[in-house]
Amino acid sequence: MAEGWLRALAPDSIVALSAGTRPQGVNPGAVRAMAARGVDIAKQRSESIDEFVADPPELVITVCGAAAEACPTLQAAVSVLHWPFDDPADASGSEAEVAAVFDRVRDEIRVRIENWLEAGMPLPELPASGS
């Protein structure tokens, strides 16, 4: 959902790609939730993070819930932001309850991206050399 929102909201100069250790398609619940807001993510697929080793991006944004240390990233990336969102694929309950979790996370991601874009896309502070 984050990739879909970035593609919809960010300037064209930002290239948004999803990546992970196990590339996969998009959860049908996420497709439905995003379609309800007019964003089609049905054909998105995550890339293997290994594909970016030779040419790492300037910024990696991880969205792996509260487990920042378990979220794959590239050591060579210039900057890494961690935005911990609940994984709606872990939701349980009735179909309506699960859909509500996808909708909530979808809206939380959009707000986070909008705020980041409005703030001028700030990057994390790099540690001072020699510290």
Closest CA to 85 of 99, 67, 98: 67
Residue 68: per-residue pLDDT: 63
The CA distances from residue 128 to 17, 33, 49, 60, 125, in Å, are 29, 42, 27, 20, 9
- Express each pLDDT in 40-81 by its tens digit: 999 998 887 777 767 777 788 888 776 666 676 666 656 888
Residue 111: per-residue pLDDT: 96
Residue 55: per-residue pLDDT: 75
Write down the mean pLDDT value for the chain: 84
Per-residue pLDDT for 19 more than 80? no
| Structure-model confidence comparison of residues 12 and 104, the more confident one | 104
Query: Which structural domain, as residue segments, surrounds residue 30?
Result: 2-118
DSSP 124: P
Distance CA 131, CA 126 (A): 11
User: For residue 95, is it within any domain?
Assistant: yes
User: For residue 112, is it within any domain?
Assistant: yes
What's 10's domain CATH number? 3.40.50.2300
Distance CA 118, CA 18 (A): 22
User: For residue 50, is it within any domain?
Assistant: yes
